Amino acid sequence: MTLSWFQIFRLGLVQMALGAIVVLTTSTLNRLMVVELSLPAVLPGLLVALHYGIQMTRPHWGFASDAGGHRTRWIIGGMAMLAFGAFLAAIGVLVLESSFAAGMVISVIAYALIGLGVGASGTSLLALLATTTAPHRRAAAATITWLMMIFGIAVTAGVVGKLIDPYTPQLLIKIVGIVVLTATGLTCLAVWGVETKLIAVRQPDPTPFRQGLAEVWQERKARNFTLFVFLSMTAYFMQELILEPYAGLVFAFTPGQSTSLSGAQNGGVFIGMLTVGILATGLKIGALRHWVIAGCLGSAAALAVIAMLGPVGPAAPLTPAVVGLGFFNGMFAVAAIGSMMALAGQGREQREGTRMGLWGAAQAVAAGFGGLVGAGMVDVLRALFTDTQAFGSVFLFEATLFVAAATMAAKIMDRRMPSATLVPGE
């Protein structure tokens, strides 16, 4: 048996819960460290890089999942670990106000737990989707689950942005506690009984992990796509840690307004994903390759606009520009995810999880690297130039990376892949 559409939607709730928790650490807590606590932007950048770095273990979890069975416990256990890590991270922010050393110790432990939780839960979920979804539904399943994740991010950021003003430490703890408990409970309900209803008997694979990973790396398509994921995701995540501080320092946004800005951006991502899903999957308009290229080039143009709005100051229409960036980010992301799910079933058998883990690790490393580089560049340039010039320069550099990613996609992506509903192997 394979996953029904209803079961796919249920598993999408797990992605929604993941996004709801992670957005707290990358937007709200990041903003509080940089603006309210006046800490250098590279500090939350290092913490977020830590949680992404730990996700280098994703291929190992994916390889283990290829042997079959018991993925539900990893999904629930990983979500519980993520929830505890996020709550501990909020406590760390409060401790930083009185003791930098103690706050950093708590924060390091918290972000390490966040990385382990995301890796364990997210990779196990993708492995379950890749191995139990009918081939002709894989790309559509990825689109559905990612749209639900973006929905969770956008709603959480928007609601938290409205509730957290006026900011108090007690209010922060209360809000984070409610979010993580709700996400964990939703995950348990979403996955309960799904795996046991599937008939998926597999013989144990005696191949060692390193050999299995090497076999996947020898596949030209998998290797090239890994390099593309790293480059494009580096560009995608460079603005993650600097956009809200940019809004606060250059455009005088309050904590609530800047958090809502993140929600508006992810709302744009959701609309971009939905647009491509309808046009490419439903109406069969455009190939995945074309949507990826258009998304990358559109993201580059939006970043250039955001950089040019800096000299205008608080009166500038920053929010519409950020929504535009989110729209093109979503366009690029959903087309790349569709390609990923289609490619997961190509090549050596019983390696779907390993491929998903490899691409997940490339994304995680790029996300941590991109966020850290963006924050570090801002800190260096702010010492030499005005805030407007410093942030604008980083956004323009990020735009050039998106152009490079579009060029790479044009060269390596399969021209014969017509839509997000392509059956792997065709």
Mean pLDDT of 266-283: 81
| pLDDT value at 418 more than 60 | no
User: How far is residue 377's CA from residue 234's CA, in Å, rounded to a whole number?
Assistant: 14
Residue 419 resides in a domain: no
Residue 200 resides in a domain: no
DSSP secondary structure string for all residues of 384-407? TS-HHHHHHHHHHHHHHHHHHHHH
Domain of 356, in residue numbers: 5-195+205-412
Residue 426 resides in a domain: no
pTM for the full model?
Answer: 0.74
Residue 418 resides in a domain: no
For 269-305, letters b (16+ CB in 10 Å) and e give: bbbbbbebbebbbeeeebbbbbbbbbbbbbbbebbbb
Residue 379 resides in a domain: yes
| pLDDT value at 88 more than 90 | yes
How many structural domains comprise the chain?
Answer: 1
For residue range 159-202, what is the model confidence (pLDDT) as tens digits? 887 888 787 888 889 999 999 999 999 999 999 888 777 644 45
> For residue 204, what pLDDT is reported?
58
For residue range 336-360, what is the model confidence (pLDDT) as tens digits? 887 777 777 666 666 777 888 888 8
What SS3 state is found at 203?
Answer: coil
For residue range 117-166, what is the model confidence (pLDDT) as tens digits? 998 888 888 878 877 777 667 667 777 888 888 888 878 888 887 888 78
Residue 423 resides in a domain: no
> For residue 73, what pLDDT is reported?
83
Residue 422 resides in a domain: no
Pick from 312, 253, 183, 320: which is nearest to 31 by CA?
Answer: 253
**The CATH number of the domain where 71 resides is what?**
1.20.1250.20
User: How far is residue 369's CA from residue 234's CA, in Å, rounded to a whole number?
Assistant: 7
Residue 420 resides in a domain: no
